Each structure stands twice: as C-alpha cells, then as structure tokens.
A and B are shown apart, each in its own frame.
Chain A
Amino acid sequence: MNAGQKSARRIAASNGPITRDTVCVSCLHRLTQPSRRPASTAAALADPPSTPTQQPGHPNPPVSTAKSPRKAYQLLASPVLSRPPLLTRDLTSFEKAYYLYQKRLNERLALPFTRYFYYKKGTPGDVEWKRKIKVRKTPARDIGIYAAYGDEGWNDEVLVGDPTAERESVVEALVRDAEGKAIIDEEVVGDAEKEGLGAAGDAKTGEGQRRDLTKVEVERPVDRVTEADKANDLRSLSRKMDRTLYLLVKNREGRWRFPQDRVYGRENLHQAVERILVQGFGIDMNTWIVGNHPIGHHQMKYTSGGAPAPRLAKISPNRLVSTSRDRVEYEQEEYGEKVFFMKGRMMTGQADIAKNEYGDSEFRWLVKEEVEQAVTGGYWKSVKDMLAER
C-alpha cells in the first residue's frame, strides 16, 4: 500500500515546513511540482515549501542552494535470518506418561489385531510375527510388554521410574523389531534335545528360534544431540536442532548485532536485505525473505552527554544498487540511526565471513536466550519480541 499524496502532504504540513530535511526525497519531489497541481489545491497547502521551486516539468529533484548537508536519520535495513527448528521438541515427563497410558488404554478398547489380513498364513513374516507377539503380548511396538486382553489387562499403568515411555526405550524396541529380534532377549536355558540351546518356557524349542544366518542391518535414528551440540560450535547450523537459530555478526565496533547496512538509492527494504545477505556472507546461502514489510525496528540517537551529537556521513554509491549511482558521493548530517528488521528464513548453505564487505569479524547462529546475552540492553528491548520462543 502506498502512502498517498494526501497523507504525505498532511504529515509534512503538520510537522512544519517541507524541506529536504523533514521529508524524504521522493515525497519532496512529488510535493514540489506546482505545474501538475490546479490552483485550488495549491492554495490549500498549509505551508509552502521553503526550498526554491524548480522549473515546471523538471524531472530531477530540486538542487539545494544551501551549503549545509541534509539533516536526517541514518536509514538501515537488517535481516533477521533464522533457521527454523528441524526437530520436534522433547516431550515433558507428563506428556510421555500420558501418551503411554492412552496407548495402553487404546489396546484394551480397540478390536483385536487381525493377523491374517497383514501376514499370509505360513509365510516367514507370519512366523516372525508369532515369535515376537509371544514375548511382547501386544501388537503395538512402543508400549512395552502388555497383554491387553489377558488376566493382567487391568495392570495398564507403569510404576514411577519405568523406562517404557522414554524415547531411548521406544527407539530400542522399534530397532529390535526391525532387526527381527523380540522386544527382550529371552533367557537361554540348557535343553538336552537341542544341544544346550533353548528358550525358557518354550515347549517346542527350536520352532520359531531365529538362527543368526543373516544379520539384518537396521539403520538407527541419528542422535538428536549432534556433534555441534557436544562441541558447542556456535557457528554450526546443526546445533540445537529443536530450536530456532538466529544469525548474528560482530561488527567492526565489536558489538554483536543482526547484520545491517544502509538503504541506498531507491531500493526497498526487501531488496536491501537480500543485498546485505550477499554482501555480508557471500552467495552460498539459500534464503527466503518473508514478506515486504519489516517485523520490527530499533532507533538510536547520537548523543554526547545528553545533547544531540550529529555525525557527518559520506554516502557513496553501492556497487550492487544501480539507482544509488544516480548521485555521486554526497554528505548527510545524521542525528541517529533507524534500523528496520526484515524476517528471513535460511534453507540451505552457510555464511562465509571471508566474503564480508562490512568489516564484520565473526558470525554466530544463536538461540533466543543466547542473543539476549550477546547484545546490549537497548537493542535487546527492540529485538526480543521479534524472536520465536522455540
């Protein structure tokens, strides 16, 4: 949505004279073109522009005859690049206990498993199933040993400290099932007929006994705690896979911030932020900038001992912004800085600090709590509500 002519005029009129210092260049250009306006609206303008009026139909912005540089705030764009969580979060102990109990209740209430619908009679799959179900007593693979329809069906709750609901036990049970082993190793007792090999309590020893002719190699799930977590490598994207990681850089002043840079020429925030990512970290990052408007802002005034201390800035054209080359290097008196943050998502790739053009020395991928520790108080206040809890 564009701010219309009326709004720019209204704002500019209420804040005082429309000068190069109070209104942006494009609004000024639009407002100080008397040839396009009829006489009636020209009279309606509250304050006439104090800059010298330009020639009617002149395309370029008015050239200031004043010697002093333009007064403004430094306009910066900053990408808040985040890698969203790649893993689900760990369940709390209550959730684990609850889900286990509900699964066991489901076993009691659901209709019995129809074995022959899934395994054809006499096939190896059927034999394997029968062997496993004898130990496990339930078709479900992640609720431990529980006989829902038997005499002990009432005993569906586990005792405090039972490991059945824990992730490690569930993974172990599933992997063992995939390998063809029963959920627990049955005790092997001496058996005269079968040369000392047999399972306890099994009348027909040997039938259904799996002989280790072919060992099934089952791929185990990768550990949720990665090597980057153990080494606490703050530059790695594989750290804290269940949390959102944010990209921060140490700027030339030694402060940890989100990467930021000026907005040049006529580029919009989206374009500025894409350029900043390339100029800051190289081309090897596959990113997506979400939307066209900022998600937050931070403002800082330059003061020394309470009084405003404006800084003179020389703005030279940026090699990647073609519209910034319209004007050669110009000066601007800056009273502070205004940073607008844009949301970005990281898909693949990694940041390369060697390609940095801003003098940033380091980069880190940090979670929300670590960002709080790294940045200063005022900056954190502006930034904290943009960051996700998980």
Chain B
Amino acid sequence: MALLQEVTSTFLRRFKAPPASLHRKWASHCRHASTGAVAQETDELEQSSFLQGEGPAQQAIERFDPAGVAKRRNRRLPPSRYQFRSPRYYRGPLHPHQPPRPSEPSSREFAPGPFSLPRLEQTYHDTLASDYMVLAYAHLPPGQAAFKKGERLRRWEGDSPYFKNRPLRGPRGGDTLRLLRKPVTFRNVPQLQRVTVHTMSSDAINSGAALHVSGMVLQAITNVRAEAHEVKKSVAGFGVRAGMYLSLTCELKGEDMYHFLSKLVDVVMPKMKDWPGVKGSSGDFSGNIALGLKAEEVALFPEVEVNYDMYPPKLIPGCHIMIHTTATTDQDARLLLTQIGIPFFGKLVS
C-alpha cells in the first residue's frame, strides 16, 4: 500500500466476508433509525472487536425490561443496591474506594453536560470562521520584506556608558504593553471564549430582596447560578460599607454562552427601542467587548417576559454583558461580533 489508510469496516469488507456484525443487529432493532444512516455512521468507525462481536440474542433483547422486573419484585433488595454515594474525600491511590471522574454521573462533581449543539456554534465553524480568515488575510507579495515594527521594549540611546545594560524602557505613552497580534490563520481564528453578565443594584443596600430578585433574573436569562460579590472598600458617598453584598456575576461558557448570545442578538436586540448599537469605543484593547442593557431591555428576554408579573415592580435590574474573545485586538473582536450580528455605532476606537 503506497498510502496509509484507516482500518475502517469499509476497508476490511473488501478482503473478507462480512460477519454478523453488531451494527447490523442494532440497525434491525432501530425502527426509527434507517439502516442506511446507522450503517453509514458505523462505516466511519475504526474496526474493533467491539463491532465484530455477536451481541445479545434476539430473545434476550425482546425480554429486556428492567422497569418491569423492578415492579414485579416483591422482596426488598439489600440497602447497598439502592444507595450509592461516591466517597467524599480522596484517600490515596491504594484505597479500595476510588472517587469516580467528574464526568461520571455518579460523581459528586458531576455537572450534566451539553444538551444540544448550539446553532451559533455551528454557524461559526461552518460559515463565520472561513469568512473571517479571508477578511483578515494580509498579502505579502513575493520579494517584499515584511514590515518591521519598532522594538516593543525600547533601548536607551545616547552617549552615557551606563545605558548599555540598563533595563529596557516600556512603550511610549504608558507602561502597559498591548497584546501581540498574531496573523490570523486557520488555527488562529478569533473565537468566542466566555461571556460575563454582571449587575449591581444600589437597592440592595437597604433591602436584601433586591439582590435576590437580581439573582433570579440573571439565573433565568443565563441558565447559570449567579455569584454574589461583596464590596471591598467602604465609600460613604455612595452609602456603601465593606462586606455588603451588592453585585452579582454569571460566567457563561460553551453551550450556555452560545444560547445566551443567540437570544441576545435574535430576540432582545431587535426589540430594543431606539438602540443605535454597541458603542464603537467599547473594548479593553485585548479583544473583549462590553455592552450594557437597561432594566426594560433585560425584561425583553423570553425567560423574563414569560412571567414578568411575578417580579416585584422596578426590581428587574439592568446588566453589563462582557464578551471575551480569543482575539487580541479590538478590531478583530469587533469584526467577529459584527459577523455574529451585533451592530456598532460611532467612531471605532482601538
């Protein structure tokens, strides 16, 4: 064989008679999965003994009814059959009771995993990422040397002999270095990383209920339990003391993030009255863009709109939404968000 080829079931079928393999048995039982679709999926799998096994007998499959067996059982099983709690503490690798992986449903740290393949994520990978790559490409004609930027940390220039090994100076205009921008390639296309939704209620200074309502609203729109934060320093002017819980944040990653942004762009933003868009100067020079929603705009989320009357009047909070991307400059982040559907207005500051 001149080329290496994956050992798939389609490949092996060319050389030997196909056994009564497992996938055909499954396919015949799946009334709703057409034989063609299931066979196509298993064709792409690597060949393994698991697929070649005989599988259970037809009679055993028909008789399989765990719920029925449990119902018909008269006696009570020993307690160990009904209870299982994974060990609370890790007692070393040699202990007989090992805690399961966090991805195991029986683990104490198990968090139920993705429930869907978000539409925005699919759109990004199929459409937006390739368009971004084309837009961000910078052509270097053959024979032309790449533009050489000045030093990031500047040397001391002058006659003094003490300049030679002196620590280098920072950039002009301040000591903070901006992030390096790497060229955008197929491995390096800016992506959405996480979204932080934050709200602070000054009503919570006097009433605890205000913070609870804010927490419920945030939980409803983001599907994530909000975290409360205490005030670090007392400021008499605002009437605020250190240790008071006044603000909440929700960190959204993965599926929750994509669903939240889809709702924001497709449902909430079109309904916002006289909204020009996100400010063009928004951005922290590192590829993260923030926008704010007023209380009446937060009420446009479908999860809040459905039981709007249940919330006490005027206690639905506004919020800040910070969208963190893997872009390293504001222009890159803005281009990505424009592709997703967020409009910008005013002068674009980077």
**B141 adjacent to A161 (CB under 8 Å):** no
Q: Which residues of A contact B31 (CB under 8 A)?
A: 161, 163
A-B Cβ contacts below 8 A, count: 97
Q: Taking CB as reference atom, which chain A residue is nearest B111?
A: A109
Q: Which residues of B contact A160 (CB under 8 A)?
A: 26, 29-30, 61
**A290 adjacent to B41 (CB under 8 Å):** no
**B119 adjacent to A88 (CB under 8 Å):** yes
**Which of A94, A102, A152, A291 contacts B112, CB < 8 Å?**
A102
Docked complex Cα distance between A1 and B113 (Å): 47
Q: Which residues of A contact B64 (CB under 8 A)?
A: 159
Near B by CB (< 8 A), chain A positions 167-211 give 168
**Which of A3, A85, A92, A290 contacts B135, CB < 8 Å?**
A290
**B32 adjacent to A166 (CB under 8 Å):** yes
**B138 adjacent to A99 (CB under 8 Å):** no
Q: Chain A 86-100, CB within 8 Å of chain B: the 1/0 string?
A: 001101111100110
Docked complex Cα distance between A258 and B259 (Å): 37
Q: Shortest Cβ distance from A360 into chain B, in angstroms?
A: 26
Q: Which residues of A contact B100 (CB under 8 A)?
A: none
B231 CB within 8 Å of chain A: no
Q: Which residues of B contact A88 (CB under 8 A)?
A: 117, 119, 122
Q: Give the A interface residue count (CB, 8 A).
A: 44
Q: Taking CB as reference atom, which chain A residue is nearest B147?
A: A1
**Known A10-B143, A160-B29; contact A85-B131, beta-carbon cutoff 8 A:** no
**B127 adjacent to A118 (CB under 8 Å):** no
Q: Which residues of A contact B117 (CB under 8 A)?
A: 88, 91, 95
Near A by CB (< 8 A), chain B positions 91-119 give 105, 110, 112-117, 119
Q: Shortest Cβ distance from B299 into chain A, in angstroms?
A: 16
**B114 adjacent to A102 (CB under 8 Å):** yes
**Known A117-B310, A388-B126; contact A155-B112, beta-carbon cutoff 8 A:** no
Q: Which residues of B contact A94 (CB under 8 A)?
A: 41
B37 CB within 8 Å of chain A: yes
Most buried by B among A4, A88, A89: A88
Q: Which residues of B contact A68 (CB under 8 A)?
A: none
A295 CB within 8 Å of chain B: yes
A138 CB within 8 Å of chain B: no
Q: Which residues of B contact A91 (CB under 8 A)?
A: 117
**Which of B110, B122, B140, B142 contacts A11, CB < 8 Å?**
B142
**B112 adjacent to A106 (CB under 8 Å):** yes
**A103 adjacent to B112 (CB under 8 Å):** yes
Docked complex Cα distance between A310 and B204 (Å): 83
B200 CB within 8 Å of chain A: no
**A163 adjacent to B67 (CB under 8 Å):** no
- 14 pairs across A/B with beta carbons < 8 Å? A1-B141, A3-B143, A84-B126, A88-B122, A91-B117, A93-B30, A93-B37, A105-B105, A105-B112, A118-B307, A160-B29, A290-B134, A293-B134, A390-B126
Interface residues of B, Cβ cutoff 8 Å to A: 26, 29-33, 37-38, 41, 61, 64, 66-67, 70, 105, 110, 112-117, 119, 122-123, 126-127, 130-131, 134-135, 137-144, 306-307, 309-310
Given contacts A1-B144, A3-B144, A152-B70, 7 further A-B contacts (CB under 8 A): A1-B140, A4-B144, A93-B37, A160-B26, A290-B134, A295-B134, A345-B131
